[in-house]
Amino acid sequence: MLQLIVATVLFLVMMFGIGFILNMLLKTTWFPIYVFIIILLPLGIWSTWDESVSFVDNFTEFTYVDVIPVIGALAGAYVSGWAIRALRRGGYKMF
């Protein structure tokens, strides 16, 4: 259980950092969430896909241990967009 908590916090902080840097460089707000949903999520599902079992069985093999860190990473991407938006509203032009 401790490893799950550490992994979730790690993914949250990692996606926040990557998202914050991407938002600063590309001058976008929600780009990291789009990248996460369109590229990273399908890539994670595809890498664990097993051709020998059915479509439904592939998705039911994911447990809460697999899903909770993904939710943490998505939350980190959202918080990075929220932080950039708050900084821009606060008058910081460099963000």
pLDDT per residue rounded down to tens, the chain (95 residues): 999 999 999 999 999 999 999 988 888 888 889 998 999 889 988 888 888 888 888 888 889 999 999 999 999 999 999 999 999 899 887 76
What was the pLDDT predicted at 81?
Answer: 92
Q: Please give the pLDDT value at position 82.
A: 94
**46 residue type, one letter:** W
Q: Which two tokens stand for residue 53?
A: 């079992």
**How many residues are present in the chain?**
95
pLDDT at residue number 95: 60
Whole-angstrom distance, CA of residue 25 vs CA of residue 20:
9
* Amino acid 93: pLDDT: 76
Q: Note the pLDDT of residue 47.
A: 86
Tracing tokens 């241990």 back to the chain, one arrives at 65
